[in-house]
Amino acid sequence: MTTLPELVSAAHRRFAEQPAVLVEHGAITFAELGAQARSVAYTLAELGLRPGDRVVIALDNRPEVLAVEHGVWLGGCVRVAVSTRLHPEEIAGIAADCAAAVVVCAADLAARLDELSVCTPEQLLRGGAGPEPPHAPGDLVALMYTSGSTGKPKGARVTSAAWVAMLEAMWSALPPIGPGDVVLHVAPMSHFGGSVGSAYTLAGAAALPLPRFDAESALATARRHGVTAIPLVPTMLDRLVAVAERDPLPVKAVIYGGAPIHVPAQIRARAVFGDVLYQFYGLSEALAPLTVLSAVDHADPDSHRLASVGRPVSSVELSVVDDQGKRVPNGEIRVRGPQIMPGYWNGAEIPAGGWFATGDLGFVDEDGYLHLTGRRSELIVTGGFNVYPAEVENAIAALDGVAEVAVLGVPDNQWGETVAAVVVAEDGHDLSEVDIRRACADRLAGYKKPRRIVFADRLPVNSTGKVAKQVLRSWF
């Protein structure tokens, strides 16, 4: 089987004269990217790193990210990409957990990580390119740290085979990719955006990284450079749609995932971008796409498919089980296939070929589409009844004037837990608690209706772009 380092070096050679990264005054070709990556690999070796050593990459979206990542892989080291939105102590905690040999970060962050071995991308790129280093025999290529929303982040071990299987699933699901395509990186390249981006880069597309997301400037940049693909998390998609409604952007693919999305947001996005939407479902421990909601699936605004996350890719098996592992119509989602991790760093192992419990709850409809009803840890139990946040969120999101909504359970002396909703209204809409309760009364059983409603200017998100429900919980 072809390894990830082999795919990386093959892309450098195959697309040598094509642009690999667009920069302010031109482009870095694949041949130049390959030279930079070899420089990174040799500099890391000069620092004493050996195959299998972990390299924490804490960088905003910037041109050097690909050179650092590719150099890490060519040197046989392990990519540990983290969000720069994390506190320095959180980054230090991850570095300590995986016994990282070095942290690659910008100079301002390096100054706050003085107890760690740190270097900047510029320092890694100072060495000569040299010949390509021999590919290391080790199979571990990345640690994907969970967001830590329910506790201490854990590092999911990603093998070369899993990463390659992820690429193959993306290539099968997306429109054909090659030179001439340009992928806009506004979602963090450390997470979902970078995973999707690798499928584009290794197929010959050019990367266009933007360090900060602003919908207006992102669309202007996309038009100027002929962007053809944009990976996003749903919160970014909502904001991009609000701007693009005034002046749509022609692209081949808008790929979103990493967090729940509501049907009205999908319908608005399709109205703006056309039949180019692709939803990917996956986790740190089981790389996206496990399932795909294709552009064709988005085409009918009245279809029940829009409430799903699509159908499993050909390499993935999926089952819905209860607490005893028995198959049931509605329960916990378990998956197996080549994209699943073998286990956590310094933690539990997944039996070879075994099922991985995702922690997500849901069901599969008669057409084979997976519907998620919430996280197992976020299930609301009120007065003995189960309430899935997603169904309440969908009821509220269907109300005209709702921009964002999050539903969660909060402590209640009488019911144990009660349903609470945090709602963000669209500009120019004046929503009230009566409006929210009426929308829920039209669609939901009485015990599912939120008893507590709060309006906010914006929902807080964590470093991966997911709604930070632990922050919302503190509001109550």
Q: From 235, 285, 286, select the one nearest 257 (Cα to Cα).
A: 235
The structure tokens listed for 207 are 């990367």
> Final residue of a domain: which of 311, 326, 347?
311
pLDDT greater than 60 at residue 409 = yes
> Is residue 467 in a domain?
yes
273, 296, 311 - which closes a domain:
311
Name the pLDDT band for 259 (thresholds 50, 70, 90): confident
Whether residue 121 is predicted with pLDDT greater than 70 in this model: the reply is yes
Instruction: Give per-residue pLDDT as tens, 170-184.
Output: 999 999 999 999 999
* Amino acid in the structure at residue 95: A
Give yes or no: residues 307 and 395 share one domain: no
3-state secondary structure of 238: helix
- pLDDT band of residue 127 (cuts 50, 70, 90) is low
Domains in the chain, number:
2
Whether 352 shows a pLDDT value over 80: the answer reads no
Residues 284, 396 within the same domain: no
- Expressed as residue numbers, the domain containing 10 is 4-311
Average pLDDT, the chain: 92
Close Cβ partners of 366 (under 8 Å, ≥ 6 residues apart) = none
Mean pLDDT of 401-427: 91
Close Cβ partners of 102 (under 8 Å, ≥ 6 residues apart): 44, 47, 49, 55, 56, 116, 117, 118, 119
Distance CA 334, CA 36 (A): 41
Least confident stretch, 22-26, 166-170, 202-206, 208-212: 22-26
Q: What is the pTM of this model?
A: 0.86
- 353 occurs within a structural domain: no
Same domain for 386 and 289? no
Q: Are residues 295 and 418 in the same domain?
A: no
| φ/ψ of residue 269, rounded to 5 | -65, -40
Q: Is the pLDDT of residue 76 over 60?
A: yes
CA-wise closest residue to 393 among 364, 431, 419? 419
- The SS3 of residue 2 is coil
Does 237 fall in a domain? yes
Residues 385, 307 share a domain = no
Asked if the structure places residue 286 within a domain, the reply is yes
389 in the same domain as 304? no
Is 84 within 8 Å of 58 (Cβ atoms)?
yes
Q: Do 273 and 393 lie in a common domain?
A: no
Does 234 score more than 70 pLDDT? yes
Q: pLDDT-based confidence at 66, cuts 50/70/90?
A: very high
Q: Determine what percent of the chain is predicted with pLDDT higher than 90.
A: 73
Does position 36 have pLDDT exceeding 90, yes or no?
yes
68: pLDDT strictly greater than 60: yes
Exposed, middle or buried: residue 31 (CB in 10 Å: 0-12, 13-18, 19+)? middle
- 97 with 241, same domain: the answer is yes
Give CA angle at 310 (146, 321), nearest 5°: 65
Mean pLDDT of 285-300: 97
pLDDT band (50, 70, 90) for residue 130: low
Flag whether 331 is in a domain: no
Classify residue 364: in a domain, yes or no. no
Residue 219 in domain: yes
Question: What was the pLDDT predicted at 371?
Answer: 95
Domain annotation covers residue 255: yes
End-to-end CA gap in the chain:
52
Dihedral (Cα; 124, 129, 133, 136), 10-degree rounding:
30
Higher-confidence residue of 389 and 185: namely 185
CA dist 29 and 275 (Å) reads 31
Question: Which helix (H) or strand (E) segment is 68 a member of?
Answer: helix 64-74
Residues 6+ apart with CB under 8 A from 327: 319, 320, 321
Q: Is residue 295 domain-shared with residue 384, that is, in the same domain?
A: no
pLDDT at residue number 384: 77
More confident site: 222 or 413: 222
- Per-residue pLDDT tens digits for 433-472: 999 999 998 888 888 999 999 999 999 987 777 788 889 9
Contact 311, 281 (CB under 8 A): no
- Judge if 144 and 38 occupy the same domain: yes
**Residue 414 backbone dihedrals phi, psi, to 5 degrees:** -85, -45
218 and 294 co-located in one domain = yes
Quickly tell me which residue has 């962050």 as its tokens. Answer: 109
Element (H, E) at 169: helix 160-173
CATH number assigned to the domain comprising residue 96: 3.40.50.12780
Q: Which CATH number characterizes residue 468's domain?
A: 3.30.300.30
Q: End of a domain among 311, 339, 367?
A: 311
